[in-house]
Amino acid sequence: MRRLLAAFLLCLALPCGAGVLTRAALEKLYPSPWMIGDKDAAVPVWPVHRQNGPTTELVGYLFESIDFVSVPGFAGVPINLLVALDARGNFIDVRVVSHHEPVFLDGLGEGPLHQFVGQYRGLSLKQNVIIDASGKKDGMAAHIDGVAKATASVRIINQTLLSAALKVARKKLGFSAAQDPDRAARIRSDLVETLTPEDLRREGMLHSFVLRNAEVEKKFAGSDAAGLDDAVLKQPGDTFADLQVALVSVPSIGRSLLDDASWKRLSARLEEGDHALLVRWRGGYAPVSERFVPGMPPDRFTLMQGGLPIEMRDLNLDLRFKDASEGGQARVFRVIAQAGLDPAQPLDLALHVTRLKGMIYPERFVREFGFAYRLPDRIYILPPKEDSAWVAAWKQRWIELALISVALVLLFAALSRQARLVADARRFAWFRAAYLAFTLAFIGWYAQGQLSIVTLTGVIHALKEGASLAFLLYDPVSLLVWAAVIVSLFIWGRGTFCGWLCPFGALQEFAGKLGRFAKLPQVRLRHRADARLRLLKYVVLAVLLGSVFVPGQATGWLVEVEPFKTSITLGFQRTWPYVLYAGLLVAASAVWYKFFCRYLCPLGAGLALFGRVRLFDWLPRRTECGKPCQTCRHRCDYVAIAPSGAIRYDDCFQCMDCVVIHQSEDRCAPLMLEKKRRVIIPVKAA
């Protein structure tokens, strides 16, 4: 068995796939009037155009999410989405290209999956997407419906879609490469003040930048451009450039500097989230050259934030100022919302001065003179503290997590005090029945905490592809149970999960008790036959783990050997072959105690292997156990006690029936004999 497992695990990993669609395939999906262009050589997107009269306009871009992000799903394989994004960052269309999510493969079916991704059509990357059932839509947030029984999968899909779309938007639409624009501060629209130019300068909202000739010459000193400007050399103390900058899209600044008509014209040209930067200058070196074309970015003036450039374009607006005495020239440059400008952070502005040396092919020398512009805190609103998508999942399920945590603490405490736990056999029977009912109904059917071999195959696949294991965080209930199971492996072995925390195991145990109550005949194999049949689950485990290294969807089909998804995750709401298979396994348990768990369960086989790290042989034994007493062995429904009386922990489900017998003076043969010896028979004279 060890050699077989090693052979599978040493198979060579295959490289992760990329996008699979071609231009021809996309043209079938999006026929005329759409026109699909050639795939971009630098960024894997297809430009989409549309005929608009005599001109052809860019509609947006088509791309596959797998070309940009690789967030593993619960099968360990990334979900691939086809996304159509328009030129302003709105979702035109979202479709599923491929996925291996178990819950949507013959489970709920793919209908709910396609309905879920369809909700993104018409939404914008400017909006926060919140998965709930409210159905709200507003300027900054959109609420979309999730999918019951697939909460973790839809969060992974959401993360995949938004991450890929933001990467495309940053590379092709001018979105900021520094951060998500939704995480930028917002200008307060409710704060409108009337301030004088002196007030604006004092608070830094109107910033003056004066550059002297001597400063310019000093920058060029030591280069071949030094001394090329005679005017600068002759009058070093004179002003080279005199600029004033202000973020006039801020109501308090714009209304204080511009007259009412100009403010209205400016506001009409800006969309929600846009910013407008006013630059005024009086003579000297201008922020735009003589060759500057209105409507274009300034050719001598740049804006950066966080060390990354942010594009701004001239609005070509004729503005009038309240204070006409300032004079000079002015330009207003627009920064679109998608650029991700954060008004809470400094704006790093720079004036570029160029000198030319030579006549025909002159050599260019450029020097940069920078300064910072910052708004006071009262002007903007900071965004709420950012939570990762998986953090939101944990917050939404805190009640379930709290109840399960209490139940786990109770179980661990009870198992650590086994003598007290089994002191009263009747009380212990009620405790175990109640706990199994909680496991089945709450952990399994309600909280969807059924552990599965799918998690192990998903982890192996992710490690094989070098992908992150962050997908585990999207299912907090399962992760909590996994943590408890891993701890229990070191203390008690595999039995804590298989005997107490497995919802399908609890369902089988109840079916077995019902079968005995109905006095159905029970199947019980001889020791040798039972031992051989138990090896089958290790073969199933080896085949499943090996399938991870085989191309295709073999793993997705093979994991169906587990009936967990059908019976617990989907509550038997599935197509009839799967329901029939799961139903037969449950029915088999009524006559063959926990048939699936003992002979077929690959997860149980894996836990049995890992359970060998157990630190304690915690089930009590006596020297008489097995020699000559065989009571526990014959009463063990799992056939987990050897003829020698030793516990086979790999096969033990921790039901503790043997501990109940071991502690009972009425059922344990050695204790019964000892009890008889203590009885004193009085001798009386005849």
pLDDT in tens, 8-18: 333 333 334 46
Asked if 228 and 373 count as a contact pair (C-beta separation under 8 A), the reply is no
Whether 7 maps to a domain, the answer reads no
Q: For the chain, what percent of residues have pLDDT higher than 70?
A: 90
- Mark which of 381, 402, 419 sits at the end of a domain: 381
- Mark which of 381, 409, 435 sits at the end of a domain: 381
Report, as an integer, the average pLDDT of 575-579. Answer: 87
Whether 414 maps to a domain, the answer reads no
Residues 135 and 235 in one domain: no
Over 50: is that where the pLDDT of 230 sits? Answer: yes
Whether 436 maps to a domain, the answer reads no
For 548-577, b where at least 16 C-beta lie within 10 A, e where not — what string?
A: bbeeeeebbebbbbbbbbbbbbbeeebeee
d(CA 491, CA 487): 7
Residues 45 and 69 in one domain: yes
Asked if 572 and 566 count as a contact pair (C-beta separation under 8 A), the reply is yes
Residues 90 and 215 in one domain: no
- pLDDT band for position 500 (cuts 50, 70, 90): very high
What pLDDT does 413 receive?
92
Q: Can you read off the two tokens belonging to residue 347?
A: 């704006």
Over 50: is that where the pLDDT of 244 sits? Answer: yes
Over 50: is that where the pLDDT of 544 sits? Answer: yes
What pLDDT does 141 receive?
57
Whether 521 maps to a domain, the answer reads no
Over 50: is that where the pLDDT of 65 sits? Answer: yes
What pLDDT does 384 receive?
65
CA angle, corner 610, sides to 607 and 611, nearest 5?
80
Lowest mean pLDDT among 99-108, 592-601, 605-614: 99-108
What pLDDT does 681 receive?
66
What pLDDT does 14 receive?
32
What pLDDT does 389 receive?
62
Over 50: is that where the pLDDT of 7 sits? Answer: no
Whether 272 maps to a domain, the answer reads yes
Which position has the higher pLDDT, 458 or 590? 590
Lowest mean pLDDT among 153-162, 255-264, 334-343: 334-343
Over 50: is that where the pLDDT of 6 sits? Answer: no
Residues 213 and 64 in one domain: no
Residues 174 and 194 in one domain: no
Whether 70 maps to a domain, the answer reads yes
d(CA 94, CA 671): 71
d(CA 231, CA 40): 49
- pLDDT band for position 42 (cuts 50, 70, 90): confident
Whether 413 maps to a domain, the answer reads no
Residues 195 and 162 in one domain: no
How many independent structural domains does the chain possess? 3
Residues 190 and 176 in one domain: no
Residues 150 and 223 in one domain: no
- Mark which of 381, 408, 436 sits at the end of a domain: 381
Lowest mean pLDDT among 127-131, 295-299, 333-337: 127-131
Residues 227 and 366 in one domain: yes
Asked if 480 and 401 count as a contact pair (C-beta separation under 8 A), the reply is yes
- pLDDT band for position 179 (cuts 50, 70, 90): low
Residues 166 and 216 in one domain: no
d(CA 364, CA 357): 7
Q: Enumerate residues 6+ apart whose C-beta is below 8 A from 445.
A: 503, 568, 571
Whether 423 maps to a domain, the answer reads no
Q: What is the largest CA-CA distance in the chain?
A: 146
Residues 225 and 166 in one domain: no
Q: For the chain, what percent of residues have pLDDT higher than 90?
A: 39
pLDDT, tens digit (0-9, with 9 covering 90-100), for 340-398: 788 999 999 999 998 988 888 888 898 999 999 999 999 998 876 655 667 777 888 89
Instruction: Please give the residue range of the domain that contains residue 47.
Output: 20-181
The strand pairing partners of 129, in sequence order, are: 142
Residues 343 and 257 in one domain: yes
